[in-house]
Amino acid sequence: MEIILAIVVASAVIFFGALISMGNERQRKAIDGLREQVVLWAMQDLRIKRERLARDVHVENPLGWLNKVVARVCGYDLNLQVIEALENPRVLICTAEDSSVRVVFTPHSPSEISVMKRARHNRLSQYANRNPLLSFPRDVTAFECSVLNNGILFDLELPLAWKGLTGNNVDEMGFIWMYMIS
């Protein structure tokens, strides 16, 4: 009799465990569906806001805009001054007002720069190309500036500011890398 009672209790525990598990799975699927709908709603809301704001995008002071970007990413204002702009590869070299820090802006990520450094160059082209990307120190600090850390219009303002600072047009640049060299 005790064995039959133990089997019935074990069967009941297994049965109720299976029911709870199925209920939890249904709840998980429902929650996932709600999460997807919230994400889609948020994306659509941002698209609507962005379209309304995108009509009036302009950058009156490109250097001031760049200083605001640096302040958002670093947490402090460097009051940058433009030193030089190179076109191939795209590089904008700036320095802090007190000349303590050099800041290099480029659309190239650290991994792309390391590939450029490893590419074989003959000796003459190595001396002819004085691009600062190829002479970065190992401990250079890199920051990615994008819509995520600089506002929803960053990718629309960046090409305007880049043209204002360098005089060169860029087709589409949604992010930029900032390298700080002490």
Q: How many CA atoms lie within 13 A of 119 on its CB side?
A: 11
Residues 6 and 78 grouped into a single domain: no
pLDDT tens-digit series, residues 82-108? 888 888 788 899 988 887 888 999 988
Global pTM reads 0.69
* Nearest-5° Cα angle at 77, 86 to 59: 55
- Give the three-state DSSP class for 111: helix
138 shares a domain with 94: yes
Domain-terminating residue out of 56, 77, 99 = 56
Whether 22 shows a pLDDT value over 70: the answer reads: yes
User: Is the same domain home to 127 and 173?
Assistant: yes
How many structural domains are present in the chain?
2
Please check the confidence at residue 64 and state whether its pLDDT lies above 80: yes
- 113-117, 134-138, 152-156: which has the highest mean pLDDT? 152-156
**Strand arrangement, sheet containing 81-86:** 81-86, 91-95, 102-106, 176-181, 141-145
Residue 47 belongs to domain spanning: 1-56
Q: Quick check: bond before 132 cis, omega within 30?
A: no
Residue 46 sits in the same domain as residue 92: no
Residues 6+ apart with CB under 8 A from 72: 149, 150
Q: Are residues 113 and 36 in the same domain?
A: no
Q: Is pLDDT at 124 greater than 50 in this prediction?
A: no
Examine the domain organization and report whether 35 and 73 are in the same domain: no
For the chain, give the number of residues. 182
Q: In terms of domains, do 114 and 143 share one?
A: yes
4 shares its domain with 67: no
Regarding whether 139 and 94 lie in a shared domain, the answer is: yes
Q: What angle do CA 26, 32, 33 make, to 5 degrees?
A: 90
Residue from 75, 87, 169 nearest 133 by CA: 87
- Residue 85 shares a structural domain with residue 164: yes
| The two three-digit tokens of residue 133, written as one number | 């990307």
Do 73 and 32 share a structural domain? no
Shared domain check, 156 and 68: yes
Spatial distance between the Cα atoms of 135 and 117, rounded to a whole number of angstroms: 8
Q: Count CB atoms within 10 A of the CB of residue 164.
A: 16
